[in-house]
Amino acid sequence: MASTAEICEHLLQSPPQSQHAIAYNYLVPNVKGLESLIKVMDATGSTAETPGSATKPPTTTEISLFAAATEAFSKANTNCTIAESLERIRPIVALAKTKNIRVRGYVSVALGCPYEGPDVPPSRVADITATLLEMGADEVSVADTTGMGTAPRTLELLQALKAAGIANTDLALHFHDTYGQALVNTIVGLEHGIRIFDSSVGGLGGCPYSKGATGNVSTEDLIHTLHGLGMHTGINLEEMSKIGSWISSELGRFNESRAGKAILARIQEQ
């Protein structure tokens, strides 16, 4: 996290070339982190919604905040209780709103905790989600951080969120593929009406507190599944697969995308 401000400043001053708008999402652990981001935005003449120009694409700057669905994970990750973490988040959201910065909340370990096991009460996840939205979060991503989620428990969680009065349009789902269930759970979410899903190119990511946890469902696999269901994403899957291969090579790690590797193998044969 120490170099976040430096990276932020570089991106805002020299954004990559793009024909489309770019959204920058910054993880903010505390008020100090947000103040640092605002300082960089002010220094670079950036706003939360910066219009594009002939040489720069339009950009959106937003922040992410995390709360955990179990006390054990909250203690391990942020050294505080769930209630304390929510109180820490409240002033961050309030400050962000004064700057018109979009806020994205996350509820970690919503479908399984490395310390407390898979049976996380859906009602607790719903309560935390509702609290984040009441604070002013624009969207909450409900995260299966450990990849323990199954289709029946994903559906149970979605039903609990609905019963709590939380609209699908305020939600995103975030699945890790540790047990190979991320795409199965994604389809459950789609059938329930969710339309925003987190993913990572090449399946990057993981969780340092959960042994064996893999990264998010790969973007390439997710897009391949959505296209197979007849959905339009506007994403060129072949180009995305090339990016997944490139970044995996740059980081010296295994490319976790099955669809991406299959697509690249087919291209090489042509």
Domain boundaries, the chain: 4-198
Q: Name residues of the chain where pLDDT drops below 50.
A: none
pLDDT at position 211: 67
pLDDT at position 70: 98
pLDDT at position 15: 82
Dump pLDDT digits (tens) for 171-215.
Answer: 999 999 999 999 999 999 999 999 999 999 999 987 766 666 678
The residues assigned a catalytic role are: 207
pLDDT at position 36: 92
pLDDT at position 19: 82
pLDDT at position 27: 93
User: Which token pair is 18?
Assistant: 């793009």
pLDDT at position 140: 99
pTM reported for the whole predicted model = 0.93
pLDDT at position 88: 97
Angle among Cα 72, 77, 78 to the nearest 5 degrees reads: 100
CA distances from 77 to 13, 28, 46, 49, 72 (A): 32, 14, 31, 31, 9
- Architecture label for domain 4-198: Alpha-Beta Barrel (3.20)
pLDDT at position 141: 99
